[in-house]
Homo-oligomer: A and B are copies of this chain.
Amino acid sequence: MPPPKPATIIDVAREAGVSIKTVSRVLNQEPGVHSETREAVLKVVADLKYRPKQSARSLAGGRSFLIGLLYYDPSAAFVGGVQQGATLRCREAGYHLVVESLHNDAPDLAMQVDRMVSALRPDGMILTPPLCDNPQVLSALRESHTPCVLISPAADEPDHPSVRMDDVHAAEEITNLLISLGHTRIAIIKGAKDQVASKRRYQGYLAALKAHKIALDKDLVVQGDFTFDAGVEAAYQLLSRRQRPTAVFASNDDMALGVLAAAQRLGLSVPGDLSIAGFDDTPAAARVWPPLTTVRQPMDDMARAAVDLLIGAPRDAGAAASARPKHRVLPHELVVRDSTAVLGAKAAPRAKKAG
């Protein structure tokens, strides 16, 4: 048996005794339809289980109801959070999320992006780091006149709206927390050199030290690259010094987990001998012992805000419409767990927030 053909707008119009234009009006919630007519149409729609076909709407109307999400590292918890927020917000708004995994250094990156947008003509694109800072990607998108929102880009571009959190402030807060616990020998493991988040978090660290008049000890600053292995290696370096740090602020959770692993390997007690703080609140951060003190990025909310910016800014509103793109900064959250404690204490840490 061949499957029954789904009802079309013509079927609905015939059954309801109106024109297809009126059906269209009802479905798109356009004003100017008599309420009785509306009711009648809606009833037929329900009876016939009519659902407008997206490809037809798209072809005729010029909107695809598709939002694209471009990402690089699929294992990154960051991307998972962003995707979750984006897909939920899309559903609420009647859009759908198309995802594409791209290598940041693929030679044909521009072509891959171009292919996607030319075929799908998404109404907007969401870019996550490091793709949101990739000139190839950005220029391919510009050429196709696809609106896009950058999530946590290196710099706020004048061309595109962006959504981010305040890395500097968050890093400062977490460093303040360590200071308030009595630590003064606080090491930092910096993130990847080419990512601006690394710089910003380092800035926050410096600011906190300065505010508390703690002199910067260059021996306590180690270059990392956001990987677990970098965290392990940095920890060995730091913990082999004569004057060990009593606390380590790793610029992300993966590195913090590396520090934790190295400390345990060396037989140090965490947080008794060493307090450790991370950044990101990845799923793994709560699945180790002791659970990590860290910063929760509002990934969900950033993604939702990105979708909203895209839906609100139709393609080619251009220079005329909104004079300049919006740059939103969303609030983060300090997550104090058991990997940080009062200096010298063997007990559990106090969840005191730094001033």
Write the residues of chain A forming the contact surface with B, with a CB cutoff of 8 angstroms. 1-3, 6, 51-56, 58-59, 64-66, 74-75, 77, 80-81, 83-84, 87-88, 91, 96-101, 112, 114-116, 118-121, 145, 228, 254, 257-258, 260-262, 264-265, 282-284, 286-289, 316, 318
Contacts and interface: CB of A to CB of B under 8 A. Distances in A.
A259 to B, nearest CB: 10
A254 B115 contact: no
Contacts of A254: 287
A329 to B, nearest CB: 24
Nearest to A81: B74
A74 B66 CA distance: 20
B53 A119 contact: yes
Given A53-B119, A91-B100, A119-B51, A2 B318 contact: yes
A148 B254 CA distance: 36
A66 B145 CA distance: 22
Contacts of A51: 114-115, 118-119
Contacts of A54: 55, 119-121
Nearest to A284: B284
Nearest to A116: B96
A349 to B, nearest CB: 15
Contact of A2 (B52, B75, B83, B316): B316
Contacts of A316: 2-3
Given A96-B120, A257-B284, 7 more contacts: A55-B121, A74-B83, A75-B283, A228-B286, A257-B288, A265-B289, A288-B288
Chain B CB within 10 Å, residue with most, of A6, A91, A119: A119
Contacts of A74: 80-81, 83-84
B99 A119 contact: no
B75 A87 contact: no
A289 B318 contact: no
Contacts of A262: 289
Contacts of A121: 53-55
Nearest to A74: B84
A88 B59 contact: no
A1 B283 CA distance: 47
A101 B77 CA distance: 16
30 contacts: A1-B318, A3-B145, A3-B316, A3-B318, A51-B118, A52-B119, A53-B59, A53-B118, A53-B121, A54-B55, A54-B121, A55-B58, A55-B64, A74-B84, A75-B80, A87-B99, A88-B101, A91-B112, A97-B98, A97-B99, A98-B99, A257-B287, A257-B288, A261-B287, A261-B288, A262-B289, A282-B284, A284-B284, A284-B287, A287-B288
